[in-house]
Amino acid sequence: MNNTNRHRQRGAVIITVCLMLLFLLGFMGIALDFGRLFIVKTELQTAMDSCALSAAGELDGLADSINRAGSAGETASSVNRVNLQSGNWDGKTKLAAADIIYRDTAYQVTTNPALAKYAECTHTQPSVQMWLLHILGAVSGNTTAAPSVRDVAARAVATRGSTQTTCPIPVALKPKTTGCAGGNCGAPNYGFAVGEWVTLLMGQNVAQGGEIGWANLDGSNNASETEREMLGSCGTRVGDTLGTPGVQTAIADAWNFRFGIYKNSGNPAVHRPDLTGYAYTANNWPSTFNAYDGAPGSDPTGTAANFVTKRQDFASCANQDPRTNNQAVTVCEGIIARSLNSFQKLAAPGAAVTGGHRTYGISRRIVLVPVINPSSNVIDYACMLMLQPLSIPMTNVQLEYRGNPSAPGTPCTTSGIPGGVAGPLVPVLVR
């Protein structure tokens, strides 16, 4: 072979290597860019799952349930991070109320809150950037074969079903023994009438029949455990034995978060409030009965409306007047007729306000409460509405009985593990 042919062959190797590198770049583009698409898809699916579960949890058949479901779904999805953990979803549009639809038992689309049983959240994350495939297209000159962006979509559907375990607050309701509604002191209502106000006593192990006492869900008597459980604890089952702790003032923080009431360092984005923090006492609700959806009657404060209405308005404890925090706390203290002392910050009220009850609010004041027997064993659950924040020094507060959580139309939803055949209802993914 002469030298001329040898030099020509050496040049061919360079061309071959360049073609192989281009080929390898294509595989790298497929691996990296489609890997990114998979990550974005997973993140978006998590956001849609959160949306569907939160929205389904509000589908209790009441007139405002779809409005609440939309707000809860939007809020739950927006706290997730999408597109490589981007807090603002890479500057793209986040899920909106129009992305949530509702279906009846026949799985037909409905806007009737009495018929809505399923919440379906669907969203497309547009224009996810393809990096290496775009470069490959530019190098090859074929930009149509390697688009620079792709859309990613996700969908989730949830409904409510019975739970295996529950997530109650760390208090316990003792059934009535006398004066029972309808003459029945047993299940399902244990002597209470729906709408009845029941007292939560601050003392240790002092609750009698028809009252509520503090009770650790893990069976201990540790007061600091009570605060931890008030922030959120799941796993309680029928038959568990509850503890009877003393109560430290620190429990007031965790309790008041649910009303959107904070100390100066508090933050509704971290410790999320209910959709409304409006409180109910004999001062603004003289009937002391059915604050959930009843009529206020005579109201010396001039601010009262039932809980369902206040929830739609995203009202704070100081109603909807956008005062400074110091002024707002004063109004709140006028409603509850006691001092909040170190609690000097309220979540912002109003449907048009960014932040506060509208942005961060979820169902936090409709709570599950264990019903116990004389041996402190859980025998059932009660659905209850938290009526008042805790003051310092701590005084007795009240909750309103809203029925057995397994009853049709109950507003009570917990976040326990689904899969049970009876008992409290929990949101569960079905698609």
**Does residue 352 form part of some domain?**
no
What pLDDT is recorded for position 180? 93
Task: Tell me how far apart the alpha carbons of residues 255 and 252 are, in angstroms, rounded to a whole number.
Answer: 5
346 or 321, which is more confident? 346
Mean pLDDT of 224-229: 92
What pLDDT is recorded for position 132? 62
**Does residue 113 form part of some domain?**
yes
**Does residue 191 form part of some domain?**
no
**Does residue 364 form part of some domain?**
no
Count of CB atoms within 10 A of residue 152's CB?
Answer: 22
pTM attached to this predicted model: 0.69
Question: What secondary structure letter does DSSP report for 176?
Answer: P
- Statement: residue 44 has pLDDT above 70: yes
Helices (H), 195-262: 223-230, 251-257
Domain range enclosing 99 = 3-162
List, for residues 103-151, the tens digit of each pLDDT value.
999 999 999 999 999 999 999 988 887 766 555 555 555 555 445 778 8
Strand 118-129 with 425-429, pairing: unpaired
- Number of domains within the chain: 1
Which residues make beta-bridge pairs with 122? 155
> Rounded to 5 degrees, what are φ and ψ at 140?
-80, -15
- Is residue 261 within a helix (H) or strand (E), and if so which, with residue range? strand 261-262
**Does residue 59 form part of some domain?**
yes
> Is the bond into 188 cis (omega within 30 degrees of 0)?
yes
List, for residues 145-200, the tens digit of each pLDDT value.
445 778 889 999 999 887 777 889 999 999 999 999 888 999 999 999 999 999 99
Query: How wide is the angle at C-alpha 413 spanned by C-alphas 111 and 107, nearest 5°?
Result: 35
What pLDDT is recorded for position 145? 47
Q: Give the CA distances from residue 146 to residues 33, 133, 140, in Å, rounded to whole numbers and listed in that order.
A: 11, 6, 10
**Does residue 311 form part of some domain?**
no
What pLDDT is recorded for position 171? 95
Task: Tell me how far apart the alpha carbons of residues 276 and 347 are, in angstroms, rounded to a whole number.
Answer: 9
- Statement: residue 327 has pLDDT above 80: yes
Q: What is the mean pLDDT of the chain?
A: 86
**Does residue 282 form part of some domain?**
no
**Does residue 158 form part of some domain?**
yes
Secondary structure (3-state) at 238: coil
Closest of 195, 209, 161 to residue 57, by C-alpha = 161
What pLDDT is recorded for position 289? 96
Residue tagged 């971290």 (tokens): 270
Task: Tell me how far apart the alpha carbons of residues 165 and 59 are, in angstroms, rounded to a whole number.
Answer: 20
- Which 3-state string (H, E, C) describes 85-109? CECCHHHCCCCCHHHEEEECCCCCE
Task: Tell me how far apart the alpha carbons of residues 194 and 53 are, in angstroms, rounded to a whole number.
Answer: 27
Task: Tell me how far apart the alpha carbons of residues 431 and 429 are, in angstroms, rounded to a whole number.
Answer: 6
Closest of 367, 428, 414, 364 to residue 56, by C-alpha = 428
Mean pLDDT of 346-362: 88
